């Protein structure tokens, strides 16, 4: 089954063609990072206008790269939410127009379900359920215990900021460019992660939830306490990065203790590109537990290939019900719509 997938939930315009959920025939991603770096963050109206401009060149590029014709495409998949409404509309409107023009079925995909499906891209073997997925991005931080692609339980979620959001806000406080994750990771390479000690969030609670807003406040005070001294950016970046990763890993450790049946841990979403996090989770996983991350960094951050994979698995587990056209929606819960 060849699926043409479109992802436009934020400031990336991406189109991919994915065969049977794993083989990526093409994946083009046009990012607006350079535009928003100067402005310190994404401006939604501007992101949507740029999506309109980039959509057709990206679509044509993906078709050309895949070397397949419209006749060989079996369905069209699109991110229907959550995300920036204007940006989402560009993708969903394009997908509806293409589906109608080429008479193809349309599959609406939850953005997070796309991230959850990203470890399947480009692999030859088959991951084993039940598995734990930590999905950490700029918009959400969720831990799922999954018994199949579409069945599972949300066992941990953030109560305030997302992990990627903490990186982005921390970077802004340190005067580092947007997006914060990669710039904190880069600055941290020269720093000492033990130079500053940030408190472990929700330490006393017997829960698998996350909280990152306190860490952000601690960073603010650490900077303020330096008064007139030169800001040790590398040390602060390294210590702040360690604190975020430590919180994420400590929750995973607790989840693995509670669920000894789990044989695989998946790290997905933009924050899964973080090398320190990967190393810490790798150390946590024993020989019997496989750690999977997306096969390339491009599949960690937003991309259409993961939406193509997710659509395939939806169709595999839900049959033609997956083709029911769903509304574009800026805010939708994956727990209520799919994984139950
Ligand atoms: O999944 P994604 O591309 O978009 C959303 O769905 O939000 O994730 C973007 C987030 C940003 O907050 C960015 O700072 C973070 O992922 N990120 C990273 C790294 N690369 C991207 N965080 C930590 N380390 C990285 N290397
Ligand atoms: Zn994302």
> How many Å apart are CA 106 and CA 87, to the nearest integer?
18
**Contact criterion met (CB below 8 Å) for 26 and 16:** yes
> How many Å apart are CA 37 and CA 54, to the nearest integer?
18
What local confidence, expressed as pLDDT, does residue 329 receive?
84
Question: Ligand 2 centroid vs 319 CA: distance in angstroms?
Answer: 25
What local confidence, expressed as pLDDT, does residue 339 receive?
52
User: Does the Cβ of 92 fall within 6 Å of ligand 1?
Assistant: no
What local confidence, expressed as pLDDT, does residue 325 receive?
63
Q: 61: buried, middle or exposed (CB in 10 Å: 19+, 13-18, 0-12)?
A: middle
User: Does the Cβ of 294 fall within 6 Å of ligand 1?
Assistant: no
User: Does the Cβ of 302 fall within 6 Å of ligand 1?
Assistant: yes
* Residue tagged 């959920």 (tokens): 21
Distances (CA, A) of 241 to 12, 125, 187, 274: 25, 32, 10, 9
**Contact criterion met (CB below 8 Å) for 322 and 308:** no
Question: Ligand 2 centroid vs 106 CA: distance in angstroms?
Answer: 21
User: Closest ligand 1 atom to the C-alpha of 162?
Assistant: 12
pTM for the full predicted model: 0.95
Question: Ligand 1 centroid vs 102 CA: distance in angstroms?
Answer: 35
Please report which ligand is nearest the Cα atom of 162.
1
User: Closest ligand 1 atom to the C-alpha of 269?
Assistant: 1
Residue-wise over 159-193: b if at least 16 C-beta within 10 A, else e? eebbbbbbbbbbbbbbebebbbbbbbbebbeebeb
Tell which residue, 49, 119, 41, 59, has the closest CA to residue 86.
49
- Rounded (10°) CA dihedral 43, 58, 93, 141: -50
User: Does the Cβ of 164 fall within 6 Å of ligand 1?
Assistant: yes
For residue 158, give the DSSP letter.
B
- Report which protein residue has its CA nearest ligand 1's atom 18: 181
User: Does the Cβ of 114 fall within 6 Å of ligand 1?
Assistant: no
What local confidence, expressed as pLDDT, does residue 340 receive?
40
What local confidence, expressed as pLDDT, does residue 337 receive?
67
Question: Ligand 1 centroid vs 301 CA: distance in angstroms?
Answer: 6
**Contact criterion met (CB below 8 Å) for 82 and 330:** yes
pLDDT in tens, the chain (340 residues): 999 999 999 999 999 999 999 999 999 999 988 888 888 888 999 999 999 999 999 999 999 999 999 999 999 999 999 999 999 999 999 999 999 999 999 999 999 999 999 999 999 999 999 999 999 999 999 999 999 999 999 999 999 999 999 999 999 999 999 999 999 999 999 999 999 999 999 998 999 999 999 999 999 999 999 988 999 999 999 999 999 999 999 999 999 999 999 999 999 999 999 999 999 999 999 788 999 999 999 999 999 999 999 999 999 999 888 887 677 888 888 876 665 4
Q: Which two tokens stand for residue 316?
A: 């595999």
């Amino acid at each position: 089954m060849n699926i043409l997938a479109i992802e436009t939930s934020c400031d990336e315009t991406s189109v991919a063609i994915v065969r049977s959920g794993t083989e990526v025939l093409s994946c083009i991603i046009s990012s607006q990072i350079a535009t928003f770096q100067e402005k310190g963050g994404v401006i939604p109206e501007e992101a949507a206008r740029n999506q309109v401009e980039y959509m057709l060149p990206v679509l044509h590029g993906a078709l050309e790269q895949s070397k397949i014709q419209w006749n060989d495409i079996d369905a069209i998949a699109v991110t229907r939410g959550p995300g920036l409404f204007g940006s989402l509309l560009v993708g969903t409107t394009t997908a509806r127009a293409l589906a109608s023009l080429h008479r193809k079925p349309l599959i609406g995909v939850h953005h997070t379900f796309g991230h959850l499906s990203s470890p399947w891209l480009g692999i030859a073997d088959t991951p084993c359920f039940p598995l734990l997925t930590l999905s950490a991005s700029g918009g959400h931080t969720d831990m799922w215990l999954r018994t199949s692609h579409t069945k599972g339980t949300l066992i941990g979620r953030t109560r305030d900021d997302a992990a990627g959001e903490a990186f982005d806000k921390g970077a802004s406080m340190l005067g580092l460019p947007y997006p914060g994750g990669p710039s904190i990771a880069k600055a941290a390479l020269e720093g000492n992660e033990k130079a500053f000690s940030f408190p472990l969030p929700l330490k006393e609670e017997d829960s698998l939830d996350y909280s990152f807003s306190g860490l952000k406040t601690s960073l603010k005070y650490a900077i303020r306490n330096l008064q007139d001294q030169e800001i040790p950016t590398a040390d602060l970046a390294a210590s702040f990065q360690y604190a975020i990763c430590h919180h994420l890993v400590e929750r995973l450790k607790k989840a693995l203790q509670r669920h000894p049946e789990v044989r695989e841990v998946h790290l997905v979403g933009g924050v899964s590109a973080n090398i320190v996090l990967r190393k810490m989770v790798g150390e946590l996983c024993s020989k019997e537990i496989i750690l999977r991350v997306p096969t390339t960094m491009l599949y960690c951050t937003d991309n259409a290939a993961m939406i193509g994979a997710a659509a395939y698995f939806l169709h595999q587990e839900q049959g033609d019900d997956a083709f029911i056209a769903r509304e574009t929606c800026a805010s939708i819960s994956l727990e209520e719509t799919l994984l139950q």
